[in-house]
Chain A
């Protein structure tokens, strides 16, 4: 099939960008979206033009490196699917596809579709961990964890840190990302000890990094390739209230 692409091109952070039109010809429905872009890039290179720069790595939906807003939706139209696992059979011959970078103040564009997501790392640095030393920890079965809690923690821990929640959020908030980590650790007995401090410093860092406030739009959930639930944002809010009133 043949497609019409409008792709955001921007040379560097401090330069202006614009949408540019490209044609993608002879695209097989078996291709992944990124393989389609690979093919467009091969064509551009042969013509002596600069290929479209985009982030990607594992191409199996787990590393969280790929980004891209495709036709107005982070990671494209297929639910719970990263860009790298989106296949061209989800599009039709003759379609026009708009491809833009994830946008937020905290995610400056580095080049074309590549953005700087280091702000998410800094949210984790603020307190997204259990301060366990290497070695000197008790036997793994010393603390029992109800299966249900382990499952809930895992539901939250599935976050791949891609930033689609931020890209989708009308307020550019990283609340779902932060909530996933806060909840994952707050559910577990090992993580409860630092829970109060954690929720405060992580949300504070979130604002400091230039992310917006949560407006309960739930766009994040709809865009999340791992389907992280917004109940975790409620959980974060609960953890915050507990921290404020000194409840354990």
Chain B
């Protein structure tokens, strides 16, 4: 099937306004009749729930955390992009649009990305009005910094905690609506199923993580704002609880999953220190401005870095990419690190790490300057590793960070299931094959504050409110199914823990569906994942019962979904026989190691349809047309 993104016609800059004119509205009195479910309370979820509540809808907001203030958007450090052009350095909506599209290696929709750039400015205004304490200059104006993939300074920031401050802004708006009675929050609840009645999304089934009760909630529309799936790699920069469950269960109910193989690996994270590792911590990429990356020239060199003479060091980025040196783009730097470690030249425990050395920079600029620039990062590094990076080089290694892929949505953020809307990282729409820094926050808030309020009312205007309640047979069936699946997991009572399976899956994904992928590797992954999944269903051990707080059971449900989702991801990666952005197929590369796109055959969105477990998913294509820009070779040289 050929999918239609339903983008509005007309010139690029008029598209969104045109669409807004076409969209139907619901009168303020009638809005009260409508109930909307919002799942997830990160930037997209909190901003959507708050805004829809303010407009007068009845909103039921769900999150698995104990408070909606803890969504993983909170961990974003760097900043948020906007085309304000405050520094007068030549920025414009078009330029932000172009940079984002190019950064995504021309695998996103023009219309979506342009709209994102348009509303980026409203986001900054909104956040300032909410009291987000963005950095300012001495005259009191907002300050900007530059970020990767752009030649202008368009990133707004609040120290190293921009995500936190933006989320707390959205959270406070949400809390205000809770007080006014338009939004009800349901923390410590995990969505297990999407309920579809007569073809439309009409509710969800959730498990109360405290009591264990499985219950249904009916509504007139459902918004999934449930984040990304980087935890399919087991170790990632995501939160421990970040999962694919909500999106994947929607997929199993008929929603299409688009471009699942588009995942981003961040080059500068603190390396794994041992088998016990539970997550990876990101260090700002800005460190590469002053640090030099190297490994020993000889395999298995166990000497301290200070004992390795200059002649026996391999500054491999400077050697391989003399033009860009240590500042090569994220994906290239990540792959190069993996390559030298795979050769056995990695450093630190386990051998999966490379040095990021500040000795030269300290010599050139003095320790104080380095402290001023990166003091907080050096502190964080010391807290985690116990090492003083002023004295010895940091060790870094790439880590899975973000999922560009997600549930397929049209221009209105509606999935192929009417009434199911998908926002933020959970959808696939705006970042193509690679996301630029400081753009995730922008997209989450754009979707929640400024897009969904318009597009969802169009759907509501076509829907009679409150037509189904949880007494409907579909809801009863969903509860039965979910109870059965929980019961099944608990009854296995095998020998291995959930973590052991997750770790094993992560290793498969990292080795074969990670930074560089090959046909053989992907086929290998596809051949072993089903076996691991079968073993999980026979040998996993989950203690306790389903009728109270049971964290192992929560994890088991998520890992079970990752085990199925992993196959879809590998399938997509195998099918996409080109390299683009974060998806790197070793068969397709430029002489300098850059990704080699195949626009002739793969200039489309791959949206997958669930056909049953152990059955090949069905592929639907949404062709991408570029009317305003010409897809070029993504080069930063």
Neighbour of B453 across the interface among A110, A134, A153, CB < 8 A: A134
What are 15 inter-chain pairs, A to B, with CB distance below 8 A? A44-B543, A57-B72, A57-B241, A118-B66, A118-B187, A121-B67, A121-B68, A121-B178, A126-B179, A138-B125, A141-B141, A141-B142, A150-B134, A151-B133, A158-B164
Asked if A154 and B548 sit within 8 Å, CB to CB, the answer is no
Q: Which residues of A contact B175 (CB under 8 A)?
A: 121, 124-125, 128-129
Neighbour of A46 across the interface among B47, B449, B541, CB < 8 A: B541
CA distance A59 to B75 in the complex (A): 10
Asked if A190 and B67 sit within 8 Å, CB to CB, the answer is no
Q: Which residues of A contact B137 (CB under 8 A)?
A: 147
Residue A58 interfacial (CB < 8 Å): yes
Neighbour of B168 across the interface among A36, A151, A157, CB < 8 A: A157
Asked if B129 and A154 sit within 8 Å, CB to CB, the answer is no
Asked if A45 and B141 sit within 8 Å, CB to CB, the answer is no
Residue of A nearest to B498 (CB): A45
Residue A42 interfacial (CB < 8 Å): yes
Asked if B74 and A62 sit within 8 Å, CB to CB, the answer is yes
Asked if B240 and A57 sit within 8 Å, CB to CB, the answer is yes
| Interface-central residue, B69, B137, B210, B499, by most chain A CB under 10 Å | B69
CA distance A150 to B127 in the complex (A): 14
Kindly state the interface size class of chain A when it binds its partner: 35 or more
| Interface-central residue, B86, B165, B276, by most chain A CB under 10 Å | B276
Given A139-B125, A157-B165, verify A38-B278 contact (CB < 8 Å): yes
Q: Which residues of A contact B225 (CB under 8 A)?
A: none
CA distance A154 to B137 in the complex (A): 14
Asked if A45 and B497 sit within 8 Å, CB to CB, the answer is yes
Neighbour of A114 across the interface among B165, B282, B549, CB < 8 A: B549
Asked if B75 and A63 sit within 8 Å, CB to CB, the answer is yes
Asked if A161 and B139 sit within 8 Å, CB to CB, the answer is no
Q: Shortest distance in angstroms between B34's beta carbon and chain A's nearest beta carbon? A: 17
In chain A between 153 and 202, which residues have their CB closer than 8 angstroms to a CB of chain B?
153-154, 157-158, 160-161, 184-185, 188, 190-191
Top-9 shortest CB links A-B:
A144-B140, A129-B172, A137-B129, A30-B273, A132-B129, A153-B133, A154-B133, A140-B128, A63-B70
Asked if B125 and A129 sit within 8 Å, CB to CB, the answer is no
Given A28-B274, A141-B86, verify A157-B133 contact (CB < 8 Å): yes
Residue of A nearest to B68 (CB): A121
Asked if B276 and A38 sit within 8 Å, CB to CB, the answer is yes
Q: Which residues of A contact B239 (CB under 8 A)?
A: 57-59, 63
CA distance A21 to B439 in the complex (A): 48
CA distance A64 to B136 in the complex (A): 26
Residue A135 interfacial (CB < 8 Å): yes
CA distance A116 to B549 in the complex (A): 13
Asked if A135 and B543 sit within 8 Å, CB to CB, the answer is no
Residue B126 interfacial (CB < 8 Å): yes
CA distance A80 to B68 in the complex (A): 23
Asked if A59 and B240 sit within 8 Å, CB to CB, the answer is yes
Asked if A46 and B136 sit within 8 Å, CB to CB, the answer is no
CA distance A53 to B244 in the complex (A): 22
CA distance A143 to B141 in the complex (A): 8
Asked if A87 and B499 sit within 8 Å, CB to CB, the answer is no
Asked if B84 and A45 sit within 8 Å, CB to CB, the answer is no
Given A51-B551, A125-B179, A140-B142, verify A116-B66 contact (CB < 8 Å): yes
CA distance A111 to B547 in the complex (A): 13
Residue A133 interfacial (CB < 8 Å): yes
In addition to A128-B172, A140-B125, 18 A-B residue pairs with Cβ atoms within 8 Å of each other are: A11-B548, A29-B386, A30-B273, A31-B276, A57-B70, A57-B239, A57-B241, A59-B278, A64-B70, A87-B383, A114-B549, A129-B130, A134-B450, A141-B86, A154-B158, A157-B165, A184-B131, A184-B133
Q: Which residues of B contact A160 (CB under 8 A)?
A: 164
Residue B9 interfacial (CB < 8 Å): no
Question: A residues touching B (Cβ–Cβ < 8 Å)?
Answer: 11-12, 28-32, 34-36, 38-39, 42, 44-46, 48-51, 53, 55-60, 62-65, 78, 81, 85, 87, 89, 110-111, 114, 116-118, 120-121, 124-135, 137-141, 143-147, 150-151, 153-154, 157-158, 160-161, 184-185, 188, 190-191
Given A30-B274, A56-B240, verify A150-B130 contact (CB < 8 Å): no
CA distance A139 to B50 in the complex (A): 21
Given A120-B67, A145-B140, verify A154-B159 contact (CB < 8 Å): yes
CA distance A185 to B134 in the complex (A): 13
Given A12-B548, A58-B74, A141-B86, verify A131-B176 contact (CB < 8 Å): yes
Given A46-B541, A145-B140, verify A39-B125 contact (CB < 8 Å): no
Q: Which residues of B contact A50 (CB under 8 A)?
A: 543-544
Q: Which residues of A contact B281 (CB under 8 A)?
A: 59-60
Residue B185 interfacial (CB < 8 Å): yes
Neighbour of B176 across the interface among A35, A44, A63, A129, CB < 8 A: A129
Given A130-B172, A135-B122, A138-B125, verify A53-B67 contact (CB < 8 Å): no
Q: Which residues of B contact A85 (CB under 8 A)?
A: 383-384
Residue of B nearest to A162 (CB): B70
Q: Which residues of B contact A134 (CB under 8 A)?
A: 47, 50-51, 54, 126, 173, 449-450, 453
Residue of A nearest to B272 (CB): A30
In chain B between 27 and 76, which residues have their CB closer than 8 angstroms to a CB of chain A?
47, 50-51, 54, 65-70, 72, 74-75
Asked if A35 and B277 sit within 8 Å, CB to CB, the answer is yes
In chain B between 168 and 226, which residues have their CB closer than 8 angstroms to a CB of chain A?
168, 171-173, 175-176, 178-179, 185, 187, 210
Residue B552 interfacial (CB < 8 Å): yes
Q: Which residues of A contact B386 (CB under 8 A)?
A: 29-30, 87, 89
CA distance A11 to B211 in the complex (A): 12
Asked if B185 and A45 sit within 8 Å, CB to CB, the answer is no
Asked if B276 and A62 sit within 8 Å, CB to CB, the answer is no
CA distance A110 to B550 in the complex (A): 11
Asked if B179 and A110 sit within 8 Å, CB to CB, the answer is no
CA distance A64 to B187 in the complex (A): 15
Q: Which residues of A contact B185 (CB under 8 A)?
A: 121
CA distance A50 to B543 in the complex (A): 6
CA distance A155 to B24 in the complex (A): 44
Asked if A140 and B84 sit within 8 Å, CB to CB, the answer is yes
| Interface-central residue, A29, A45, A49, A158, by most chain B CB under 10 Å | A45
Q: Which residues of B contact A118 (CB under 8 A)?
A: 66-67, 187
Q: Which residues of A contact B11 (CB under 8 A)?
A: none
Asked if A32 and B278 sit within 8 Å, CB to CB, the answer is yes
Q: Shortest distance in angstroms between A241's beta carbon and chain B's nearest beta carbon? A: 22
In chain B between 430 and 464, which residues have their CB closer than 8 angstroms to a CB of chain A?
449-450, 453
In chain B between 286 and 334, which residues have their CB closer than 8 angstroms to a CB of chain A?
none
